[in-house]
Structure formats: C-alpha cells, structure tokens
Amino acid sequence: MLRVGTHSTRLYLREFGIIDIQPMNPSTLPPDIALALDDFANSTIPGVWKSVEKTQLIAQMRDRIVNPFQINQGGQPFCGPASIIFELVRKQPLKYIELCRSLFETGTYKTGNIHIQTSPLLRRSQGKLRTQPTDWMVLSALREAENSIFNIEANLPDFVRNLAGITKPWEMETWTKELLGYQKVTYHRTYFSGEFQALQAATKALQNQGVVFPLVTADGFLRAKTPFLALPNHWIVLLGNISVQGGEWLDTEPGKINLDVYSWGKQYRIHLPEEDFGNYFWGVVIGE
C-alpha cells in the first residue's frame, strides 16, 4: 500500500544525517568506565548464572562498550531487548556495567519502576544459547521480566521461544522511559498511514539526542525478501542518515527511502521504494 507524505514533510526529510558511531579505543577507556569494570573484576561475589563465566562476561562487556555493534541477539527472538541495550551501551555505559554486574551477582536489577527478578529456571538454563553469554544474560533477563505466561529457556522448541520472545510496543515504551531514562516517550503507529510524519518526529528526536525504535517486517525491510505475509515482527534502532529521493507528484519514478539502522549486531543501509517502505514499516517508539 502506498502512503504518500506531504510535500513539506518530504522537504524536511530530504537529507538528514548523524555522526557515525565510532568504536572507542579499548586501551584508553574513560577512567570512570575502566574503574567500574576493574571494580567488578575484583569483586569476590560469585555469579548466579550457570551459563555465564565472569572473566568472559567482563571481556564481552568491554567489547560492547568499545563497540556497541557487538551486541547481537543471534538466534534468539530478543530484538526488542537488543535494541534497548544497544542504546543503553552507547549512551550510558556505566549503567550497562551496573546492570550486568547486578544481574550476574544477584540475578536482579532495579531502576525507576522496573524491577527485574530473574527466575532460578532462567539462571540455570544451559545448552545452546544461540548468542553470546553476556547478551544471553542481559537480553533474556529483560524479556523474562515482562512475561507473565511463557518461560525463557535456552533450549525450548523454536515455536515456544518465538512466542516467549515477542516484544510489544508498550514494553518498548516502558524500557525507553524506565531503563534509558527518557521523559517523553511516544509510539507512532503507522499501520495504515503516517510513515513520513513518523520519520519527521524521529528525525527531530535524533537531532536532540533521542532514541528511535522502528517496528518492521524483518524479511522485507532488512533482507530484501518478499514475505508471504508482511507482519510487524522485528524491532530495530534507527541511526539516522535519512533521505527521501523522488516521489513528488510530477515524478514518473516512485520515491525511495534511505536510512541507517542497527539490528543483529551490525549497521544496515536501507534503500526501499516508497511502497515497500510503507508495507514493511509499522511504527516507531521514540524517546526524547
């Protein structure tokens, strides 16, 4: 379905970029970050996770602080938590260290109105994690804290794991406000229209150091595949570099939408015809 934006909105989105995310130099971490990692490393409190070894955990935490693109849900259905933690690491690395340490040592974490209390079942879970242990610990803890029906375990059947891993828009809103600390959090639904207006709001948020989490159809939006049925099934992070090409009333060629996003441990440059963009883009959670 083609959903055309207004001329003024198109002009606003014609070209908008942000600074690329550059990895830190691991040998020159900011002193407060290095001190927090060293303090955790020197703690004698044992861990409560069977699948997470402390030395590996701290090394992977360091890797992710140096380069947030190391965060990867892998084969687990944790796209919502992965998107949130990606932004937490690159904007508030000390809070990420605090989260990881508390989860490792106690299985719990509290901030704002969020209280994560991991179950013994989750902490004992072993086997094929389908992602790195550090990401497994943090992402599964976030996901389990919101689940009231399904358990989170490493070796559940795929169908059950995928059901248990579904992240709803209101959960993304809660994490954006309570974990990331944004006071103004909105969800722009674009099921039938409003994509350009949502992108305009997203652009303003990014210009003011906000965060933007689009809900998309993974195959169509990221993999250039035509899905049998387009459904809203994947959360990503909008990084910027948004541009709109063509698509004005007198143009013979359809418009194209270009932007950069994070998902599955890497940066994607998206180039989609306007119609496909409308079909695979379902809304955005914005934190400002």
Same domain flag for 123 and 48: yes
pLDDT at 127: 77
Report the number of distinct structural domains present in the chain: 2
Same domain flag for 31 and 13: no
Domain of residue 277 covers 7-20+183-287
Same domain flag for 44 and 122: yes
pLDDT at 141: 96
Q: Is residue 177 included in any domain, yes or no?
A: no
Say which range, 13-17, 43-47, 259-263, has the weakest mean pLDDT.
13-17
Given 137, 170, 203, which residue is the final one in a domain?
Answer: 170
Say which range, 5-14, 21-30, 157-166, 278-287, has the weakest mean pLDDT.
5-14
Same domain flag for 55 and 72: yes
Given 130, 145, 170, which residue is the final one in a domain?
Answer: 170
Return the CATH number at 269.
Answer: 3.90.70
pLDDT at 3: 44
Q: What is the pTM of this model?
A: 0.89
Same domain flag for 39 and 149: yes
Given 170, 191, 218, which residue is the final one in a domain?
Answer: 170
Structure confidence by residue, pLDDT tens digits, 150-180 = 566 666 656 555 555 578 999 999 999 999 9
Same domain flag for 58 and 157: yes
Q: Is residue 199 included in any domain, yes or no?
A: yes
Q: DSSP assignment of the chain, as one string?
A: ---PPPHHHHHHHSEE-----PPP-GGG--HHHHHHHHHHHH--PPP--TT--HHHHHHHHHHHHH-GGG---TTSS-HHHHHHHHHHHHH-HHHHHHHHHHHHHHSEEEETTEEEE--HHHHH--S--SS-HHHHHHHHHHHHHH-SS----TTS-HHHHHHHT---HHHHHHHHHHTS--S-EEEEE-SSS-HHHHHHHHHHHHHTT-EEEEEE-HHHHHS----SS----EE-EEEEEEEEES--TT-SSPPEEEEEEEETTEEEEEEEEHHHHHHHEEEEEEE-
